């Protein structure tokens, strides 16, 4: 085994399905096999996770892909460079609206992404107050909501005020009439639907390309200081990803998700069968092909920042920032 520069590791995560490979690597002893003593830290929000990662409280973290170019640009108000060498999920979000709003606007499961956007935009233009939330400004969820609304009207998409809420609070916020809809990863869309509070109206896959959503992130300085440790962490998570991809019986994974308070609703092979297998299928396909980060993903994220966040960059700056977001050692 390669000498590790550090063995006691703090890994941060937000309770979502796409942190499952990290949880599974811990559960199955894959970190132990690498000589690592890993402590998993549940963070309350993406902002707290980012700050604790940037300032070294966390060693690595389950992170929004768009946080990396935002850090390089200084848009996160910190400006501490972040990098990744591993994709944890690709474009797996959904847009859900309150069931009450769907009934009022006649939005159904049969509507296309463009049709549901048109109904929302028309209501907004007629003066109806519709509050939509995303998980963080620098996220595919933010850009997915903008692009969805833009299917109906670009100006409305540009001007619409989007609220920010941590994923675990989305369903509660709809139940308390604080928001009318959200874009978030699973299992929170399923929880809202099974509770009779919200319903998914479209998938991010219908709106934006197959962009990296969550990645394993770390600061550039940390990667330089602990290269062998980083490689060991990565190998453990990749092993977990592969095992989850090939898994037939998900009972133990389901129990793990309940234990970590990610699944908070009754759902099994005999109850809400369709949802049970849907979530199982999402876990198998969180990463479609290679988990190696692609530079084109960061180009797309930066283009969205330019389009929706009023950022101006020259082509050479875009290329430099995109290149800085992933670790050269693991490029293929």
What pLDDT, on the 0 to 100 scale, is given for residue 269? 78
Q: With contact defined as beta carbons under 8 Å apart, do 17 and 256 qualify?
A: no
Q: Residue 331: pLDDT above 70?
A: no
pLDDT (average), residues 168-183 = 96
**Closest to 216 in 3D by CA, of 313, 84, 119, 107:** 84
Q: Which domains does the chain have, with CATH numbers?
A: 8-91+211-264+287-330 (3.40.190.10), 93-206 (3.40.190.10)
Q: Tell me which of 50-59, 199-208, 322-331 is least confident.
A: 322-331
What pLDDT, on the 0 to 100 scale, is given for residue 332? 36
pLDDT (average), residues 82-92 = 94
Q: Tell me which of 103-107, 213-217, 274-278 is least confident.
A: 274-278
DSSP bridge pairs for 94: 184, 203
Q: Residue 289: pLDDT above 90?
A: no
Cβ neighbours of 258 (radius 10 Å)? 13
**Closest to 17 in 3D by CA, of 194, 294, 264, 217:** 264
What pLDDT, on the 0 to 100 scale, is given for residue 73? 84
Q: Residue 324: pLDDT above 80?
A: yes
Per-residue pLDDT tens for 129-153?
999 999 999 999 999 999 999 999 9
Residue 75: pLDDT band (50, 70, 90) is low
Q: Residue 329: pLDDT above 60?
A: no
pLDDT (average), residues 27-47 = 96
pLDDT (average), residues 43-63 = 94
Residue 231: pLDDT band (50, 70, 90) is very high
pLDDT (average), residues 216-238 = 96
């Amino acid at each position: 085994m390669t000498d590790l520069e550090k063995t006691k590791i703090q890994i941060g995560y937000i309770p979502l399905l796409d942190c499952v490979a990290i949880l599974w690597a811990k559960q199955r002893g894959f970190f132990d096999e690498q000589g690592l003593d890993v402590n998993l830290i549940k963070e309350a929000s993406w902002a707290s996770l980012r700050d604790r990662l940037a300032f070294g409280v966390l060693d690595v973290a389950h992170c929004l892909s768009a946080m990396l170019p935002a850090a390089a640009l200084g848009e996160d108000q910190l400006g501490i460079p972040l990098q990744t060498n591993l994709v944890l999920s690709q474009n797996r979000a959904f847009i859900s609206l309150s069931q009450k709003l769907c009934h009022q606007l006649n939005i159904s499961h049969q509507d296309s992404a463009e049709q549901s956007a048109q109904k929302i935009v028309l209501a907004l233009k007629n003066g109806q107050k519709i509050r939509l939330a995303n998980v963080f400004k620098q996220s595919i969820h933010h850009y997915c909501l903008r692009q969805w609304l833009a299917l109906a009207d670009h100006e409305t998409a540009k001007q619409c005020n989007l609220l920010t809420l941590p994923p675990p609070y989305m369903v509660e916020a709809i139940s308390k009439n604080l928001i009318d809809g959200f874009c978030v990863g699973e299992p929170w869309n399923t929880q809202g639907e099974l509770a009779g509070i919200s319903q998914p109206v479209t998938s991010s896959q219908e709106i934006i390309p197959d962009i990296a959503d969550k990645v394993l992130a770390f600061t550039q300085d940390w990667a330089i200081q602990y290269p062998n440790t980083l490689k060991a962490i990565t190998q453990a998570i990749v092993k977990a990803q592969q095992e989850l991809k090939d898994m037939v019986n998900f009972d133990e994974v389901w129990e793990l998700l309940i234990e970590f308070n990610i699944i908070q609703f009754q759902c099994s092979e005999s109850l809400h069968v369709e949802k049970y297998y849907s979530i199982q299928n999402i876990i198998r396909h969180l990463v479609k092909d290679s988990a190696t980060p692609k530079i084109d993903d960061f180009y797309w994220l930066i283009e969205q920042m330019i389009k929706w966040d009023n950022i101006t960059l020259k082509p050479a700056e875009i290329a430099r920032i995109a290149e800085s977001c992933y670790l050269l050692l693991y490029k293929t």
